[in-house]
Chain A
Amino acid sequence: MNLNEIKFRPLEKKTQVIVFDQKGKVLETDNTLVEVNPEGVNIFEDTILCGMEEQFLSLKKGEQVELDCIHTDFFGKESHYDFVVMRLEEENPSYGLVIYDFGAQYNQLFDLQQERNMAQIQSHRLERENKELVDEKTTIERLYNEMKDDSSSSQYILVKADSLLYNLDFKEILYLEAYGDYIKVHTENKVYVTHNTMKRVEEILPANRFFRVHRSFIVQLSKIENIEQMSLLIRGKDKVIPIGKSYKSILLQKMDQL
């Protein structure tokens, strides 16, 4: 089989055929794509088939190897090629190398592939950043809660009463009571009267420890002895504090129940 016999195949326009022997020496070429001078050119040394002799020399007559979508410089012309190598003769073995130049087609494929890869890389990056943000949020929340617990167990508040500033430990406060334009701060041993509003005090006190149970009362949750229908009793005191209708359900939510 020679070059012309191979050419009966329905070849694409941009196609070149090279016939070579088992040593890689070029026997024939039609030079339709690139100029190949048979003198001094060896297929196994000067093309991408370099290093693949064994694979091709083991082909039997009629067998072929296809290598598609190869981006390379082929005798000075860089493009995307498909290569087909086939064994032509058993005696005095010769081989046919058919080269298809699919540069234009693969350029279109490149655009699609580039877009797909970029989208996937971006998607993975966003996924990772999102996970990092969630982890960061969890860490911040944990640290905040730890900090809040630490500070609430040892925090003090200054209460101005009788022209003095009293440094009260939160732990001492039983409850607070509205008293006109003033607030009465009830502790175990003493009542402090200070000029302030319930709204302001409610904002200052830590929400995890104090809760407004009535428009006139804020209690420290740990000081509650029991809760009745619409009132509660302060631990160790006989003081009954009313619970406002609108506050009760939230109060019960804040306190763990068996």
Chain B
Amino acid sequence: MEIVKKVVIAGHFGVGKTSLVSRFVHQKFSDQYLTTIGVKIDKKVIELEGATVKMMLWDIAGESSAMKIPKKYLAGAHGLFYVFDLSREETYRNLDTDLFELNKSLNGNPAIVLGNKSDLVEETFIEKLHSSIATDFKITSAKSGENVEEAFLQLAKEML
């Protein structure tokens, strides 16, 4: 049985959304920053709990606020990743507001917050951030691959 799921990846520009998708889909990483224009669509087929899940990954161009994301990109999303850069405070300063805005388009579908670029910050900083941010988030590094596969599999499970 094949199940198709649309997954939206949102967040500020330069936080590593495209790199996370590239790591998950192609097992590749590049240090070069190339901005995304509009939306970049990739797909990855995974086997999960006896089902074939085709994940359509909508990697949306980074915006400084979720309010600026065109609603038509979010329409019909079965799940969402909100990505921020652990090393840039401005990318998670308005995390709650952004998530509130995005959740309006999700119709109760799951969303996972990812604190990316864990390779750039100290462990102690991450611990402090966990206690200062109310929203739960998962640590990832597209560069080292830390937690990337796990995050996508977790969202896939939550969408089933």
Contacts and interface: CB of A to CB of B under 8 A. Distances in A.
Interface in A197-222: none
Contacts of B14: 117, 121
Most chain A CB within 10 A, of B14, B38, B64, B72, is at: B38
Interface size classification for chain B: 20 to 34
Interface stretch (B28-36, B94-102, B109-117, B144-152): B28-36
A70 B6 contact: no
Interface string A43-72: 000001011101100000000011111111
Interface size classification for chain A: 20 to 34
Interface string A111-126: 0011001101100110
A87 interface: no
A9 B115 CA distance: 46
Interface in A62-103: 65-72, 80
B40 A72 contact: yes
Contacts of B33: 114, 117-118, 121
A124 B90 contact: yes
Contacts, number: 70
Interface in B4-62: 4-6, 13-14, 33-43, 54, 56, 61-62
A55 B78 CA distance: 13
Given A117-B13, A117-B14, A55 B75 contact: yes
Contact of A114 (B34, B39, B40): B34
Nearest to B78: A51
B74 to A, nearest CB: 12
A80 B14 CA distance: 20
Most chain B CB within 10 A, of A51, A65, A113, is at: A51
Which 6 A-B pairs rank lowest in CB-CB distance, beginning with the nearest? A69-B38, A51-B4, A71-B40, A72-B41, A51-B6, A114-B35
Interface of B: 4-6, 13-14, 33-43, 54, 56, 61-62, 64, 72-73, 75-76, 78, 88-90
Interface of A: 48, 50-52, 54-55, 65-72, 80, 106, 109-110, 113-114, 117-118, 120-121, 124-125, 128
